[in-house]
Amino acid sequence: MPATLSSTKAAAALRTSARVSVELLLVLAMAAVALWVLGRMWSVVWPLIVALFLTTLTWPVANFLRRRGWPPAMASAVVTVLFLLVAAGIVALIAVPVASQSGELADGVVEGIQRLREWAAGPPLNIGDDQITSAIDTAVARIQDSVGSMLTTVVTGVGTVVNGVVTAVLSVFLMFFFLKDGPRFLPWLTRQLPGRLATDVPVVASRAWDTLGAFVRSQAFVGLLDAVFIGLGLWIVGVPLVLPLAVLTFVSAFVPIVGALFAGFVAVLIALVSNGPTDALIVLAIIVVVQQLEGNVFQPMIQSRGLGLHAAMVLLAVTLGGSLAGVVGALLAVPVAALIAVVWNYLREQLGDAPEEPEQEAGATVRS
């Protein structure tokens, strides 16, 4: 008898495991299909994502104007124009000082190259001018041999720039419409969905919106920390163009990995051509320390508080997203993880409340 019960339990457990496995495979297959469809529609999805980020960043100003009695269209138009002016101001703040000191930077580049040649000619390398000339000739010959691939690279780069401009323009237009009609979305969604979905989906969407806003604000705060500490370090070392470099550091903080590398490379290059290799190494050390603290301490701690995720989960999400989808994956990893946590927490709340209803119904039946 015990053997029969044991075999029955084992068979039931096996059937349950098989059913769960099949359901899990179906979920994974649906997720794979959804990702494939998302990839095919990426030219539309990516501007939509960027527009959502921009909307969360500008919504507090638009909401302030709307509460003061401004019509939605006018408030959205004013905020959109202000955003474009701020973006143009940031570009001018970076470009104008660089252009005004371009002559000094060019002289510094020439001087830096000459210093590099003098250093290479001395011990321990002892590389003579003949060897350098031969290396330059070899590099020129390779460039001439690869003109076709270079043209392809240039065409690809031009296409990328054009796609970036189209994405930016489309994102700004979408941001305007989101600012204007965003508050109507949840009531409209409630009317379109049947049954309990009319309640569940708008609640999850509202929480997801709050989470996305927390992500953008935390990312802006992290970028501000980077800009302040790196700008302070550049000012102490005596590197020129401190303000444009600080602004570039803040803006690039919104693009994980590549943004930090680009801003750091520009700062080190300017320190090299203006102050020499010693100060360039000091600037490199400052940037590495600040970015390590930002990536491993500040960002996980700040985003974990704002998004309801543990700092380790934020760090793992960025690592996984970057390994799966590069820069875009690293950019979207944290908000995607936070949105998954929002959905999971809501499901857990609903499942936790579900068992109470049968007990109440049973009690009512007994009392009746």
pLDDT in tens, 14-46: 888 888 888 888 888 887 888 788 778 777 888
Rounded CA-CA distance 106/204 in Å is 55
CA distance 80 to 289: 37
Other C-beta atoms within 10 Å of 238: how many?
A: 12
Average pLDDT over residues 192-215: 81
pLDDT in tens, 68-109: 889 988 999 999 999 999 888 887 877 777 677 666 666 666
Range among 97-101, 161-165, 320-324 with highest mean pLDDT value: 320-324
How many other CB atoms sit within 10 Å of the CB of residue 63? 15
Collapsed DSSP state (helix, strand, coil) of residue 141: helix
Tell me which DSSP letter residue 193 carries. Answer: S
pTM of the model: 0.64
Return the pLDDT at 79: 92
Residue type, 233: G
Distance (Å) of CA 186 to CA 53, 59, 189, 202, 207: 18, 16, 5, 6, 12
Cα–Cα distance measured from residue 286 to residue 274, given in angstroms and rounded to the nearest whole number = 17
Residue 190 pLDDT > 90, yes or no? no
Q: Give the burial class of 337: count Cβ atoms within 10 A of its Cβ; 0-12 exposed, 13-18 middle, 19 or more buried.
A: buried
Query: Cα torsion for 160, 162, 168, 174, to the nearest 10°?
Result: -110
Alpha carbons within 13 A on the beta-carbon side of 69? 0
**Does residue 155 carry a pLDDT above 70?**
no
DSSP 204-263: HHHHHHHHHHHHHHHHHHHHHHHHHHHHHHHHHHT-S-HHHHHHHHHHHTTSTTHHHHHH
Identity of the residue numbered 156: T
For position 364, what pLDDT does the model report? 43
Q: What is the mean pLDDT of residues 307-319?
A: 73
